[in-house]
Structure formats: C-alpha cells, structure tokens
Amino acid sequence: MTIINDRLLKALRLEPVDRPPVWLMRQAGRYLPEYLQVRAEAGSFMDLCRNAELASEVAMQPLRRYPLDASILFSDILTIPDAMGLGLQFVSGEGPVFERPVKTLRDIEKLPSPDVHDELGYVMDVVRAMRVKIGQDLPIIGFSGSPWTLACYMLEGQGTRDFATARSWLWRAPQALQQLLDKLVITVTDYLAAQAEAGVDVLMLFDTWGGLLSEAHYRKFSLQPMANIIAQLKSRHGCSLPVILFSKGCHTQIDEMLKSGCAGLGVDWRISIDAALRQAGGRVAVQGNLDPTALLAEPAAIRQIATEQFAAAVSQPGFIFNLGHGIMPQVPPDNVSCLLDTVHALSARQ
C-alpha cells in the first residue's frame, strides 16, 4: 500500500516534491490543551505511552489542527532502558529518572537484551493503532534514542546539564562503555525493525547528547553505533526504510554523518539551513531547523523568521521543514498555526 501524502518519503529519496514536507518535532505534546486533557486521564506519562488507544489519540491531535506532512509515533526515547529493567519514572519538573541506573561494569554485563516484541510490544501496538486512525494518508515516523543518548541517561540516572558521570566513562572505562553501546545497538536495531514491521514508514534516531562529545568521541561512541544500526537494519532484518539521524549540536560532523548510511540528517538551529544543505550536497535530505524559541515571538516576527528560513532552503532537493528541536510546552498553539500557514503560503507561491 502506498502513502497518499508522500512528500516526506520523496524528500528522503531526494526526489522532486510539489513543496517541502513539513512536520515539527514534539508536534504532539504539552503545548496542546487537548493533549494535557488526555495526559491527565492517562495516569503517569509512561501509562500514556503504554496505552495504545490514548497514545495514538494524542499522536492524531496535531494532525487535526495543522496541515502536517507526517505523523510521529507517540512514545519516549527511553523505553529501551526501561525494558532493560532500569525502572523509568517521570518526576514532575525534573524529567526522566531511572530507579536503577547503571553504576558498574557488572551492571552492564547483567543487562538483559530484551525481546522487543514482548517487552516493548506496547510501542508496536501504538504504531498499529496510529495506522488504523491515519490510514494511508500520511507516513508514520518511528524512532529510538541513539545508543550514546540512551547510555547518557542509563549511566547518569537522569537528565543533567552536562552528564558528567556518563561522560566520565569515556575516560574511566571506555571498553565497558563500548560494551554497553554494543548491547544497545542490538536492541535499538531490533526495536526499529519491529516498528517497521508494525507499519512505520520512516525511522529516526534521536541523538540528543551527541553534542557533549569531542569530535573524535562523537565519531567512535555516537556516530559509529548509529551507523551500525543502519547497516544491521538492512543486513539482519532486510529493513530498508529511510533513517533520519539527528545528532543535536554536531553540525561540524556532517561530512562524517554522510557515511552513516542515513537518508536524512536532522540539524539544530546552530547552523544555518543553507549551510547544512550545502554541506549535505544533495547526498541526503536535511531536516530542520528553526529555533523552537522563535515560536514564542509575535506572529509578525514568526512570519518573517519562517520566510527567511524557507527562502534559504526551498530550492534545495531533500529539504524537510522542521524545528531545530522539539516544540516547547509554553508555545501558544496559534503560533504554530501562524508558522505553518506562512510556510504553506510560501509553498503555494513557488
């Protein structure tokens, strides 16, 4: 079955599109009052992620409001460590916390490799429930945290500003860290393959904390594991879905990322979109990269920012309009309308 709105898929194949595809990271989320209502009904955040009916409902909410060219699985990047037994909790105002973080080499050796169909079957249920609701109208993006980013939270136990404990493993125990990453490569690969089987059309790796690393460490401990996942998706699972690789704060490494086998690169706002497209050189798609804090401006300013962004990128093959990071909870939903209306009006004028 083919997807009716295939702009995102075409852009990822670097094929011509009538206009650039548009979606927004965290398009389903706390800035939407209808999300907050479902969230309140669901219990904890993980209860919501585990409830296919409610999770697929919140994934649909932005599609009803806005003209978007893709949906994205509603889940969390930390489902895998949770399935490995670390005990994921969301503490109000503090974000994710693991009850049993990884503290020793022994903890790494003991980590189980979960059967993703058993332990993470609830995620595939969300994908299937989304497909029922979306039909063939739009592509669904599946995702996982990258091995390095998962390791950051697993070793630190929670989100911190600099993940100093996690980073100390780079120096204290690089082989143990590599062992952890190798385990994560296997499970992330299985997990993404299972999402593909369940019906997603595109895969994305969120490498939120790649930018904490030196360039040499990024290549070894963040990029290489992601490249391994992309290779193994094909070789072990026969899965050839396009993969978007989003390493936040790593735009100096675009040339290296091009060797990973990805179909698209997500970039944050710290590089200009035209510079990113130029570096990608038409070899992969480029997704991004409006500063999400721009959505806190007045409509006139949002229109101007979107116009500049769009003008700089629209003529390039493989441009996917997005933010440089997720929508923030305090963004007024009308500002998102303003942004998307502007982008669509510009597209119509092309």
Secondary structure (3-state) at 285:
strand
Exactly one of 6, 31, 35, 39 is catalytic; name it: 39
Q: Indicate whether 64 belongs to the interface with a second copy (CB under 8 A).
A: no
Among 14, 97, 186, 296, binds a second copy (CB under 8 A): 296
Q: Which stretch binds a second copy (CB under 8 A): 16-24, 83-91, 169-177, 235-243?
A: 169-177
**Tokens 């393959």 label which residue?**
193
Among 301, 315, 332, 334, binds a second copy (CB under 8 A): 301
* CB nearer a second copy, residue 199 or residue 299: 299
Establish if 272 lies at the interface with a second copy (CB under 8 A).
yes
Per DSSP, the residues of 127-156 read HHHHHHHHTTSS-EEEEEE-HHHHHHHHHH
Crossing angle for the helix pair 147-156 and 164-172, nearest 10 degrees? 110
d(CA 131, CA 79): 21
Amino acid at 119: E
Residue in 91, 171, 175, 238 binding a second copy, rule: CB under 8 A: 171
| Chain-centre distance for alpha carbon 210 | 13
Looking at the DSSP bridge assignments, the partners of residue 103 are none
Q: Looking at beta carbons only, is 103 or 117 nearer to a second copy? A: 103
Range in contact with a second copy (rule: CB under 8 A) among 17-25, 42-50, 211-219, 313-321: 211-219
Largest pairwise CA distance in the chain:
60
Residues 11-30 that bind a second copy (CB under 8 A): none
Closest to a second copy by CB, 15 or 162:
162
Q: Is 167 a catalytic residue?
A: no
Does position 269 bind a second copy by CB under 8 A?
A: yes
Sequence-ordered strand ranges (E) for the chain: 71-72, 88-91, 95-98, 140-145, 202-207, 243-247, 264-266, 285-290, 319-323
Minimum distance of a second copy from residue 301's CB (angstroms): 5
Least distance between a second copy and beta carbon 31 (Å) = 12
CB atoms within 10 A of CB 270: 15
Least distance (Å) between residue 298 CB and a second copy:
7
314 contacts a second copy (rule: CB under 8 A): no
| CA quadruple 195, 42, 119, 57: dihedral, nearest 10 | -10
Sign of the torsion angle spanned by Cα atoms 300, 305, 306, 311: positive
Q: Is residue 39 annotated as part of the catalytic site, yes or no?
A: yes
Question: Is 18 considered catalytic here?
Answer: no
Active-site residue (options: 153, 167, 191, 207): 153
> How many Cα atoms sit within 13 Å of 212 on the Cβ side?
21
Q: Degrees (nearest 5) of the Cα angle 47, 70, 236?
A: 75
Q: Which residues, 6 or more positions from 80, have their beta carbon under 8 angstroms from its beta carbon?
A: 114, 120, 144, 145, 150, 184, 187, 188, 191
153 as an active site residue: the answer is yes
For a second copy, the closer CB: 89 or 165: 165
Catalytic residue among 13, 30, 65, 283: 30
- Tell me, yes or no, if 26 is annotated catalytic: yes
Using rule CB under 8 A, residue 230 touches a second copy: no
Binding test (CB under 8 A) with a second copy, winner from 49, 80, 202, 213: 213
Could you list the active site residues?
Answer: 26, 30, 39, 76, 153
Residues lying near a second copy in the complex (CB under 8 A): 159, 161-162, 164, 167-168, 170-172, 211, 213-216, 249, 251-252, 269-272, 291-294, 296-298, 301-302, 305, 325, 328, 330
